[in-house]
Every structure is written in structure tokens, then in C-alpha cells.
């Protein structure tokens, strides 16, 4: 077995572990700092909305030797506005100019044909109205709202309302960070970006639900024992699913990283950046929030209950008594074993000492009596 597999097995059995819950204030501070940075970037720089949302014209040229920077300069001179130019695989260029009408589009097309030294009829011009982008945006917000409501209802039924609330906070955390990264790096926000944002919501919930399921199973009948607190069982749930979360996240990030860094970076396919960046940032943020945000938040909410407060007092009292007697303290919840304090009160006490087998009633039956010959 590999070292990672061995570590995962030891984490699952509770032989080793990292105390995530005890350091939750650190994770909260880091998340708040990242979220504030993303929000400031969103307010200061804003989002670079694509032509699909703003409206304008898209010009597609045949194969040309003109560079992207030269074509961008020519388009800005012809239109008087900012232009976005992308290199196509055929050797042509895709030039986007926002906020132009049909008459202005024809003038820009003629000017581009002259500057790029191509035939005017070979340049394909398409006009995009802003109403189409507004419709797409409204449907995306509607879909996001419906998704959030359904997720909260499902988690509240399958688990409990505290876990539903924590999952909702983690989702908002992931979306805010992803949108803030788009504002900071200046990548174009297109319908592909919206699709990517809606896609990462499922990935973000996957790791969270896995940890919640382990926590629900581990905290069953928790108030009937006095060996571990809720936070300790929550920490065990994170550690037991940690390697699984890392493996699934890395496997999902590898192809997305290929699209972002190789397809969009090395090969220059800029159209891949709009969806690949949202997937890459969202997957990483989702794995982070399931470990450092969602479960610690559930623990904070759960330990506000009176039952959990009383349980913590009993656990601490027992440990103080054990420490005074020099007895060893429990380090982790045993795997597949019920805690010793959860035995029924009317259970028959175990026999101490050597067990004496009763003599069989049939022993010696059928043997001849008398002395051995």
C-alpha cells in the first residue's frame, strides 16, 4: 500500500489526526480575509463582462499574419472603444467590440479590412443585443436561487438544519471567492463562466455531504456516553474523510488545470479561460470550505445546545478524575466499536477469573463400571 493509502487508513482508524476544530478561529480569519479581498476586487475593478451581456459586434477574420496586439489597436482606433481580440485555431482573429450598432459595425468592418489587409467580404460580422445577455443572467440567478433553496431543504431533511445552514454559508463563500478572482485577474465573464459557477456548486457540496454523513454516523447517541465531546467526533469525521476529499479534488482539478494552463495559457485558446477558471477556483474553494468552514461551523452551532454543554462538562469531569488517578485517557473514537459507557445498565456483569466448564451430563455414559481391567 502506498504511503498516502497507509496514511488514509490510519486517519480513518483514528491512529493519527490533525485537530482542525480546535483551530477553527484561524480558518475563519483566513476565509474572512480572502472573502474581503475578493469583495474589494469586485467593487474596485468590477467584472469584465463579455459582449454576450453588454451587446455589440463580433468580427471573425480569415487567416492573417497580423498579431493580436496590432489587431486590437486597429479595432480600438476604428471603433473608439475597447476591443477584445482572440487568436483562432485556423489562424484568423475573433474581435469583439461592445456597444456598437449596425451602422457603426459596417464602418468598423471596412476599417479592419484595410488595416488587416484582408477582403472585406471575408470578414464575418455578427451583432449581439444586450437583451439576450440580460435574459441569460436572469435565468442564471433564478437557477442559483432555486438550487440554494432545494439544497437547504434536502440537507435539513437528510441531516439537520444546522448542517443545511453551514452548507449554505460554504456555498456563498465559494461563489464569492470565485467571482472575486475573476474581478482580480480580469478574465472575461461569459455564459461559459455562468455554467462553470453553477457546476462548482455540486462539487462544493460533494465533499461537505461526505463529511456530514460521517459526522452524523459518529454522533449517533452521543449524549449516552461521556468519553468524547461533539467537537472531537467532528474532528474525527474530518480526518477520516480527509484523504478521500484530497484524492477526489486532485483528480477533478487535473483536467481543469489542463484546460486553464495548457489550453488557455500555452495554446492561446482564450475561450477556454472563462469556464476553466471558474471550475478550477471553485473546486479548490469547495474542498477548502468543506474541511475548514462547513464542519467547524456545524460544531459551533451544535455545541450551543444545552445537551452538548452538559456532555462537555461530563467529559471534562471524567478526564479530570482519570488524570488524578493516573489512568490513560481516550485518544479517539474506536472504529466500529461502541463506547464503553454506552453499555446497557442492566447488562449482566462479566465473569472475572478462570472460567470453569460444567461437567457434561453425558460424560461417562455408556462406559462399563467397575475397575479397569
What pLDDT is stored for residue 27 in this prediction? 92
- Residue 372 in this model has a pLDDT that exceeds 70: no
What pLDDT is stored for residue 75 in this prediction? 80
Residues 171/151, Cβ–Cβ less than 8 Å: yes
* pLDDT averaged over every residue in the chain: 78
Same-domain pairing of 148 and 238: yes
Mean pLDDT over residues 179-200, rounded? 84
Q: Is residue 111 part of a domain?
A: yes
Summarize pLDDT for 299-328 with one digit per residue, the tens. Answer: 999 999 899 899 889 888 888 888 888 776
Q: How many residues does the chain have?
A: 373
Same-domain pairing of 25 and 109: no
- Residue 237 in this model has a pLDDT that exceeds 50: yes
What pLDDT is stored for residue 14 in this prediction? 55
Give percent of the chain above pLDDT 90: 13
Span of 146-160, 190-204, 237-251 with lowest mean pLDDT: 190-204
Same-domain pairing of 143 and 183: yes
Choose the final residue of a domain: 284, 307, 330.
307
Same-domain pairing of 122 and 24: no
- Residue 32 in this model has a pLDDT that exceeds 80: yes
Same-domain pairing of 150 and 36: yes
Choose the final residue of a domain: 83, 106, 128.
128
CB atoms within 10 A of CB 266: 8
Q: Output the CA torsion 341→346→352→354 (10° steps).
A: -120
- Of the pLDDT bands very low, low, confident and very high (cuts 50, 70, 90), residue 298 is very high
Summarize pLDDT for 155-178 with one digit per residue, the tens. Answer: 899 898 999 999 999 999 998 999
Same-domain pairing of 99 and 141: no
Strand ranges (E), 90-166: 93-98, 124-128
Residues 115/74, Cβ–Cβ less than 8 Å: yes
Same-domain pairing of 16 and 63: no
Strand-strand pairing, 124-128 and 48-49: unpaired
Q: Give the DSSP letter string of 325-361.
A: HTPPPP-SPPTT---GGGS-TTPPPPPPSPPPPPPPT
Span of 29-43, 102-116, 283-297 with lowest mean pLDDT: 102-116
- Of the pLDDT bands very low, low, confident and very high (cuts 50, 70, 90), residue 6 is low
Q: Is residue 369 part of a domain?
A: no
What pLDDT is stored for residue 12 in this prediction? 55
Same-domain pairing of 66 and 139: no
Summarize pLDDT for 248-270 with one digit per residue, the tens. Answer: 888 888 888 888 877 665 655 55
Summarize pLDDT for 133-143 with one digit per residue, the tens. Answer: 677 778 878 88
What pLDDT is stored for residue 11 in this prediction? 59
- Of the pLDDT bands very low, low, confident and very high (cuts 50, 70, 90), residue 219 is confident
Mean pLDDT over residues 198-221, rounded? 86
Same-domain pairing of 40 and 181: yes
Mean pLDDT over residues 24-33, rounded? 93
Q: And the C-alpha cell for 75?
A: 479595432
Put simply, whether the predicted model's pTM sits higher than 0.75 gets the answer no
For helices 230-257 and 306-325, angle between their N-to-C axes, nearest 10 degrees: 110
Phi first, then psi: give them for residue 95, nearest 5 degrees.
Answer: -115, 125
- Of the pLDDT bands very low, low, confident and very high (cuts 50, 70, 90), residue 297 is very high
Summarize pLDDT for 337-365 with one digit per residue, the tens. Answer: 444 444 443 444 433 344 444 444 444 45
Q: Which domain does 71 fall in, by range? A: 56-128
Range picked from 69-73, 112-116, 197-201, 301-305 for highest mean pLDDT: 301-305
- Residue 369 in this model has a pLDDT that exceeds 50: no
Domain count, the chain: 2
Same-domain pairing of 159 and 20: yes
What pLDDT is stored for residue 357 in this prediction? 46
Amino acid at each position: 500500500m502506498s504511503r498516502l493509502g497507509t496514511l488514509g487508513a490510519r486517519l480513518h482508524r483514528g491512529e493519527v489526526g490533525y485537530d482542525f476544530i480546535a483551530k477553527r478561529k484561524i480558518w475563519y480569519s483566513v476565509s474572512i480575509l480572502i472573502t474581503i479581498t475578493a469583495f474589494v476586487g469586485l467593487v474596485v475593478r468590477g467584472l469584465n463582462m463579455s459582449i454576450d451581456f453588454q451587446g455589440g459586434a463580433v468580427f471573425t477574420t480569415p487567416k492573417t499574419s497580423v498579431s493580436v496586439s496590432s489587431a486590437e489597436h486597429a479595432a480600438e482606433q476604428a471603433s473608439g472603444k475597447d476591443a477584445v481580440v482572440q487568436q483562432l485555431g485556423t489562424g484568423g482573429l475573433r474581435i469583439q467590440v461592445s456597444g456598437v450598432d449596425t451602422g457603426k459595425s459596417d464602418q468598423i468592418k471596412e476599417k479592419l479590412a484595410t488595416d488587416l489587409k484582408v477582403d472585406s467580404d471575408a470578414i464575418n460580422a455578427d451583432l449581439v443585443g444586450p437583451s439576450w445577455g440580460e435574459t441569460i443572467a436572469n435565468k442564471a440567478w433564478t437557477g442559483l436561487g432555486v438550487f440554494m433553496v432545494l439544497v437547504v431543504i434536502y440537507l435539513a431533511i437528510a441531516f439537520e438544519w444546522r448542517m443545511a445552514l453551514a452548507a449554505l454559508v460554504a456555498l456563498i463563500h465559494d461563489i464569492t471567492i470565485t467571482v472575486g478572482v475573476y474581478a482580480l485577474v480580469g478574465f472575461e465573464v461569459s455564459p461559459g463562466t455562468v455554467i462553470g459557477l453553477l457546476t462548482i456548486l455540486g462539487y462544493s457540496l460533494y465533499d461537505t455531504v461526505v463529511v456530514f454523513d460521517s459526522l452524523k454516523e459518529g454522533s449517533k447517541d452521543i449524549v449516552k456516553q461521556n468519553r468524547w465531546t461533539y467537537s472531537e467526533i467532528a474532528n474525527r469525521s474530518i480526518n477520516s474523510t480527509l484523504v478521500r476529499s484530497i484524492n477526489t479534488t486532485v483528480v477533478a482539478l487535473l483536467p481543469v488545470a489542463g484546460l486553464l494552463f495548457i489550453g488557455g495559457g500555452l495554446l492561446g485558446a482564450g475561450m477556454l479561460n472563462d469556464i476553466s477558471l471558474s471550475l478550477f477556483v471553485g473546486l479548490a474553494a469547495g474542498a477548502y470550505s468543506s474541511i475548514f468552514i462547513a464542519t467547524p461551523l456545524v460544531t459551533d452551532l451544535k455545541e450551543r445546545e444545552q445537551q452538548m454543554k452538559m456532555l462537555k462538562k461530563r467529559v471534562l469531569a471524567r478526564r479530570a478524575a482519570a488524570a488524578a488517578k493516573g489512568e490513560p485517557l481516550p485518544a479517539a473514537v474506536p472504529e466500529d466499536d461502541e463506547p464503553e459507557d454506552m453499555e446497557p445498565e442492566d447488562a449482566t456483569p462479566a465473569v472475572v477469573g478462570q472460567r470453569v466448564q460444567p461437567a457434561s451430563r453425558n460424560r461417562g455414559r455408556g462406559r462399563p463400571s467397575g475397575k479397569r481391567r
